[in-house]
Amino acid sequence: MRIGELAKRAGTTTRALRFYESEGLLDAPRTPNGYREYDEHHLRLVREIQSLQAVGLSLEDTRPFVACLRAGHESGDSCPDSREVYRRKLAEVDACLERLGAVREFLLARLAFQDPCLVPEPREFQCSS
Amino acid sequence: MRIGELAKRAGTTTRALRFYESEGLLDAPRTPNGYREYDEHHLRLVREIQSLQAVGLSLEDTRPFVACLRAGHESGDSCPDSREVYRRKLAEVDACLERLGAVREFLLARLAFQDPCLVPEPREFQCSS
DNA sequence: AGTTGCCTTGACGCGCACGTGAAGGTTTAG
DNA sequence: CTAAACCTTCACGTGCGCGTCAAGGCAACT
């Protein structure tokens, strides 16, 4: 299967797939005329990347998962590096939840009383995803 | 007080203060030589902006608060527009909390069992702050 | 042969927010 | 006198995940 079909089946674009390749996430062999040639395994890889991005992991963070699948493992998250990424992200999410909870309290307090003087902490990190 | 002193007292930079002015958030009168001349009221405004930013409001969102203070109100959040910003931000935060909770569950599940096939929702929005 | 539609590489653009940097000039403080 | 602080304007930076041309080659159908 060529890049256009893979893009369609994965619900993405050819540009994104070429970008993944340029980032070393998706190696495709070439046909004699230079076209990229993909198979079901590649589709699997792309779907893995997409589902990880969907939970807020960066492309960079998907590397270990891709490597794990390429190493022949059945699921991308059974390797130590992948699990480490999960743990790190979980810690991030927890920090984010905590911070957002505080922000929520702040907003509620301000909405409830007219009088403020509850000064919040300076922001030390960003919550994202 | 001139811009350097205000920056120091507010814990920011002169560039940021000039930027706020260019955004219409901080009007300062000028001395004959063209220098900006600030007073305690301006310091109050800057602190208001900072504390709102600290809870994740954008500079744009701080406008109503600044306007409210400038209109002579004692606290920046006693005006309807300001309170509306609070309510909007609260809704954002709630949505974000919900989403992050789901992400957290996903990560926990993946860490607990090796076998996955729990596909998350595609991301529809970004949580930030 | 022509048209359509796939494919290739490469360089640059964008969107967002919040500023920062640099250049080049004037004023003030010590 | 000199260094520091101030002024202006324009442009650039940051991060990420692509998008947008541009210029051309290859394939398949009519």
pLDDT confidence band for A128 (50 / 70 / 90): confident
- Return the half-sphere exposure (C-beta side, CA atoms, 13 A cut-off) of residue B28: 27
Q: Which residue of A has its CA nearest to B103?
A: A55
CB-nearest to B51 from A93, A101, A120 is A120
What is the per-residue pLDDT across B63-117, written as a single tens digit (0 to 9) for each? 999 999 999 999 999 999 999 999 999 999 999 999 999 999 999 999 987 555 5
pLDDT confidence band for B128 (50 / 70 / 90): confident
DSSP letter at B30? B
Chain B positions touching A112 (Cβ under 8 A) are: none
B78 to chain A, any CB pair closer than 8 A? The answer is yes
- Burial group, residue A52, by CB count within 10 angstroms (0-12, 13-18, 19+): buried
A96 to chain B, any CB pair closer than 8 A? The answer is yes
Asked whether the beta carbons of A82 and A71 are under 8 A apart, the reply is no
What is the residue whose two structure tokens read 């993909």?
A38
Q: Which residue is nearest to nucleotide C21 (CA to C1')?
A: B15
pLDDT exceeds cutoff 80 at A45: yes
Q: What pTM was estimated for this model as a whole?
A: 0.86
B122 to chain A, any CB pair closer than 8 A? The answer is yes
Average per-residue pLDDT in chain A?
Answer: 90
* Whole-number pLDDT of residue B67: 96
- Alpha-carbon gap, residue B44 to A125, rounded angstroms: 25
Q: What value does the mean pLDDT take over residues A95-100?
A: 92
* Whole-number pLDDT of residue A116: 52
